[in-house]
Amino acid sequence: MNQEELRRQLQQLPRLPYYLAPSPLYPLPRLNKVLTRAAPEIWIKRDDELGPAFGGNKGRKLAYIMADVLIQGKRKVITYGGLQSNHARMTAAACAALGLEAHLFFFARKPPQLTGNLLLNQLLGARMHFIPFGGGGDAFLTLEATNRLVQLVARPRTGRSAYFMPVGGHNVTGCLGYVEAACEIHEQVQSQNLPPEKITILTAAGTGGTLAGLMAGFALLNSPIRVLGIDIGKLWKRFPQSIARLANELIKTLHGKKRFAIDDVPLIERTYAGPAYAQPHPPAIEAIRLLARQEGILLDPVYTGKAFAGLINLVAHGRFTAGDILIFLHTGGFPSLWAYADSLL
Ligand SMILES: Cc1ncc(COP(=O)(O)O)c(C=O)c1O
């Protein structure tokens, strides 16, 4: 379908105006000089600038999910994530702005000091529940099974009627936001006269919703723009299956025909995830320093640092060649930098 038709369908769906789109898309000349000389050209798309309370990719998802919360007349919202979850922080902000109670679940011991995103959650008035058992994401469970388990644990603490938001906003409602982002990128690529068949968008994959939304969006548009997800945490059993399922549900919801098989999911699993989710490793720290010092842009140690380290490694190994354009999708996350001061100094 063409972009007008896709935009028309998306505009008919309820969403809240959390951010001003489009997010900026521009090249990184100093980085390109250091990293690639002639090939490929690296650009950045600044979704870290979108959404409430310091922004990030969850702004696009929350715009649709919080509209659904209001339609359902819910007063309490449950979600969960790792201790430095940006999703939790942005959900807390979205709830505060709507006068709703945010209940954030962390399956870890309460740290002696609340830093980074945890500090922001507290400022935003969220209720934080710390439950020290290995709940959210350990690769023994699928993402869907983990969501079911967390609901069982959370609901008795919040009341049965609270709205449950899956980890990372990973559902059809939320990931419509990244179908919309695909439209936005498609339009920016056209207006900047870039060759779409040469473009790959590289993104961190935590729950894979951003990746699924982009896959669905470009498929709906019959666009040759490719997407590549970098797994940052080895979190989920049968991860590509969850991503393919979500992308297919999105396409079906928007009346498209294409279906992705599991092997079609463009995800590099495990290779760049470091020792574990939320454990930074030297390549991620180096990647954070490089982009900060060459372009004045801040990444984070949990998501974007690992994904950017993947980009650097792929470029070094010739995965992309002259004429290719690599767009790094900056999905946010910098508030967690403070929680990792020891690794960064
Ligand atoms: C900064 C940042 N980047 C990337 C991601 C991954 O996005 P997704 O869960 O859609 O894969 C997240 C959250 O999970 C995030 O907070």
Domain boundaries, the chain: 3-55+171-344, 58-169
As a whole number of angstroms, the distance between CA 184 and CA 249 comes to 20
Please tell me what DSSP assigns to residue 210.
Answer: H
pLDDT score of 321: 87
pLDDT at position 19: 85
For 127, residues 6+ apart whose C-beta sits below 8 A from its C-beta are: 101, 102, 103, 104
Q: Which two tokens stand for residue 32?
A: 């390109």
Distance 39 CA to ligand 1 centre (A): 28
Cα–Cα distances (Å) from 136 to 16, 74, 168, 236, in that order, read 28, 24, 11, 9
Look up residue 7 and give its two tokens.
């935009």
Q: What is the reported pLDDT for 12?
A: 97
Q: What is the pLDDT of residue 18?
A: 83
Pocket flag, ligand 1, residue 336 (CB < 6 Å): no
Closest protein CA for atom 3 of ligand 1: 331
Q: Which candidate in 23, 85, 242, 336 is catalytic?
A: 85
Residue 23, phi-psi category: left (phi > 0), alpha (psi -120 to 50), beta (remainder): beta
Residue 298, helix vs strand vs coil: coil
Q: Extract the tokens encoding 114.
A: 């609340």
Nearest to 239 by CA among 272, 265, 275: 265
Report pTM: 0.97
Ligand 1: centre distance to CA 294 (Å): 24
Question: How distant is the alpha carbon of residue 219 from its chain centre?
Answer: 19
Q: Which CATH number fits domain 58-169: 3.40.50.740, 3.40.50.1100, 1.10.3470.10, 3.40.50.300?
A: 3.40.50.1100
Q: Which atom of ligand 1 is nearest to the CA of 81?
A: 14
What φ, ψ does residue 166 adopt, rounded to 5°? -60, 160
Low-confidence ranges of the chain (pLDDT < 50): 136
Give pLDDT, residue 134. 65
23 labelled catalytic: no
The whole-number pLDDT of residue 239 equals: 97
**pLDDT (tens digit, 9 = 90+) per residue, 3-60?**
999 999 999 999 999 888 999 999 999 999 888 665 799 999 999 999 999 999 999 9
Domain 3-55+171-344 belongs in CATH node 3.40.50.1100? yes
How remote is the CA of residue 38 from the centroid of ligand 1, in Å?
30
Same fold, 3-55+171-344 and 58-169: yes
Question: Measured from the CB, is residue 137 less than 6 Å from ligand 1?
Answer: no
Q: Do 281 and 18 contact (CB within 8 A), yes or no?
A: no
Rounded distance, CA 229 to CA 307, Å?
A: 8
Q: What is the rounded CA–CA span in Å between residue 78 and residue 151?
A: 8
Chain-centroid distance, C-alpha 117: 16
Phi, psi of 191 (to 5 degrees): -70, -25
Ligand 1 atom index nearest CA of 203: 4
